[in-house]
Amino acid sequence: MPITPEEVLKIANLARLQIKQDEVEQYAIDLSSIINLVEQMNAVDTKDIQPMAHPLDATQRLREDKVTENNQRDKFQAVAPSAEKGLYLVPKVIE
């Protein structure tokens, strides 16, 4: 499905993009190539292929979930503009 230079200009206008007149033809060729590639990928039968979370079937190394710092909430709330019962109080911004 080829994209015409007129369609490129229309799309650019809708997207509020400025395209130089001498670049319009190249954009039309590039966008047509992208659409052709998508059409080729859509033509492939993938009904028997299982989806993959990662193409290399890699696992992420996670660190151990343990506390590494001391609880300093009381120290921080002592200098806060407004705190009550362990919570920071902020000004109301929504009625």
Look at residue 21 and tell me if it is in a domain. Answer: yes
Look at residue 27 and tell me if it is in a domain. Answer: yes
pLDDT digit string, tens, across residues 51-77: 887 788 777 889 899 999 999 999 999
pTM tops 0.85: no
Query: CA-to-CA distance for 94 and 53, rounded, in angstroms?
Result: 40
Structural domain span for residue 18: 5-43
CATH of the domain at 23: 1.10.20
State the total domains in the chain. 1
Look at residue 10 and tell me if it is in a domain. Answer: yes
The residues with which 87 forms a beta bridge, in sequence order, are 84
Look at residue 84 and tell me if it is in a domain. Answer: no
Amino acid letter for position 92:
K
Look at residue 72 and tell me if it is in a domain. Answer: no
pLDDT digit string, tens, across residues 11-49: 999 999 999 999 999 999 999 999 999 999 999 999 998
Look at residue 73 and tell me if it is in a domain. Answer: no
On whether the CB atoms of residues 12 and 19 are closer than 8 A, the answer is yes
